[in-house]
Amino acid sequence: MRLLLDAVPPQHELEGDRDPAGGLSLPRGRRLRGDDAAPVVVIGAGIAGLGVSLALARRGLHVSLFERAPVLDEVGAGLQLSPNALRVLAELGVITAASASAVEARAVTLRAWRSGRTIARVPVGGSDGTPYLSVHRADLQRSLVAAVVQDPRITLTLGTTLRGCRPIAAGHALAFETAGGGQTVEASIVVGADGVHSRLAASLGLAPPQDTGLTAWRMTVSAPSGGATGGIEAWLGASAHAVAYPIRAGQAINVVVLGHREAGTAGEPRAEALAKVEGWDPRLIGMLRGAGEVSRWPLLTVPPARRWHAAPGILLIGDAAHAMPPFAAQGAALALEDASVAAQLLAGSASAAQAFDRFESLRRPRVDRVRARVAFHRRIYHLPFPFSLGRDMALRLRSAERLGTDLAWLYDWHPPA
């Protein structure tokens, strides 16, 4: 399925240029000054880029949003939206649209890998009553895109791939490659929201993403007649774990198997996923066998020491700044948090430098705490026997209230006033 945007402006027919020595130089063609019509240039129209564009526009700033895809395809499958993410969506005015086909969860059920028996039920949801939802990524993206194209302060341009960035007197010159050749955009403020493979980060000479050694096999299966009723479930094994949760108003189930992929293998993704959970709960095996197309996604991270205020006037947010494995289901939530905080600081600071320095000092402690929680989950989810017996006993002895309290610091975050 494709999200076709009739409101997206056409690309300019421009001629590109290259350095005689073979290096890339800025293309010839029309120059757009970001500090005139659009004070903020945002790179990437994923959740982070769409979110920060809306947050900036809500505060009266004009935004030029550039996305390398020629159309916004339905990419990915399900994701989880914890209360901290939903509060940002409410702030952006898209909570109703984003949650229209979502499914609310009261708890995450942890299960034994072989038998499927319940180890523990971890309550989710905010202490203020904000729910926890599971949703198809495309449904969330669609609601954000609809709000973006309706806002006159945002100009969204597709089919523009960033090829380079260099400092100039006015800020930065961004070289884009388009179907017609090239385009140069001059901007004083740039927000990089272009994901773990961030071209903006690469153009600034930042270290490339790192392989975690983990792979996620993702798939969607049709729910039984009457809709999915299992809620969010996680099966914990010695070297892998699996997660399943309903999406599309309960008419489909998103299933993910996470574990190490054997080096040098190039098997069919479904066969690889089934091999990872061989001998596991028959209900889980049945979902894998009945799923549609299975995709394989190597899980990458960026170096924890990466600077987010990477150069004067440039800020990285979302996965471009702090991609991490999905063991706490916070990828989308952190991207939306970044968007809200960055917009608030830009709108209320005397300069971009002041705003971006403040952003990093405010956000890094929280992101580091989430990163530590992700590492903790990775360890305890994949504990081998007999250590897994101690884990299961400790979880059973801990009350649901205490289990919920453990994550209150994460889910009770609010956007800045």
Q: What is the pLDDT of residue 15?
A: 28
**CA neighbours closer than 13 Å in the CB half-sphere of residue 211:** 9
Indicate if 78-136+212-300+381-411 has the same CATH topology as 2-76+138-209+302-373: no
- DSSP-derived 3-state class of residue 293: coil
Q: What is the pLDDT of residue 2?
A: 40
Query: What CATH number does the domain located at 78-136+212-300+381-411 have?
Result: 3.30.9.30
* Dihedral sign of CA atoms 79, 84, 86, 92 in order: negative
Beta strands in 237-345 (DSSP E): 240-247, 252-260, 295-301, 314-316
Q: What is the pLDDT of residue 372?
A: 97
Residue 11: phi, psi to the nearest 5? -75, 150
Extents of the domains making up the chain: 2-76+138-209+302-373, 78-136+212-300+381-411
Beta strands in 117-231 (DSSP E): 118-123, 132-136, 154-157, 161-168, 171-178, 181-187, 189-192, 210-222
Residue 372, judged by CB atoms within 10 A of its CB (0-12, 13-18, 19+), counts as exposed
Q: What is the pLDDT of residue 37?
A: 45
The 10s digit of each residue's pLDDT in 170-198 is 899 999 999 888 889 999 999 999 999 99
DSSP, residue by residue, 67-132: -SSSSEE--S-EEEE-HHHHHHHHHTT-HHHHTTT-EEESEEEEEETTT--EEEEEE-S-TTS--E
Q: What is the reported pTM?
A: 0.90
Is 132 considered catalytic here?
no
- Catalytic residue from among 132, 245, 381, 411: 245
Tell which CATH architecture fits domain 2-76+138-209+302-373. 3-Layer(bba) Sandwich (3.50)
Q: What is the pLDDT of residue 304?
A: 94
C-alpha 88, offset from chain centre: 14
Per-residue pLDDT of the chain in tens (417 residues, 90 and over written 9): 344 333 333 332 222 333 322 222 222 233 333 334 458 999 999 999 999 999 999 999 999 999 999 988 766 679 999 999 999 999 999 999 999 999 999 999 999 999 999 999 999 999 999 999 999 999 999 999 999 999 999 999 999 999 999 999 989 999 999 988 888 999 999 999 999 999 999 999 999 999 999 999 999 999 987 777 778 999 999 989 999 999 999 999 999 999 997 765 568 999 999 999 999 999 999 999 999 999 999 999 999 999 999 899 999 999 999 999 999 999 999 999 999 999 999 999 999 999 999 999 999 999 999 999 999 999 999 999 999 999 999 999 999 999 999 999 999 999 998
The Cα 310–Cα 204 span in angstroms is 7
Residue 157: phi, psi to the nearest 5? -125, 125
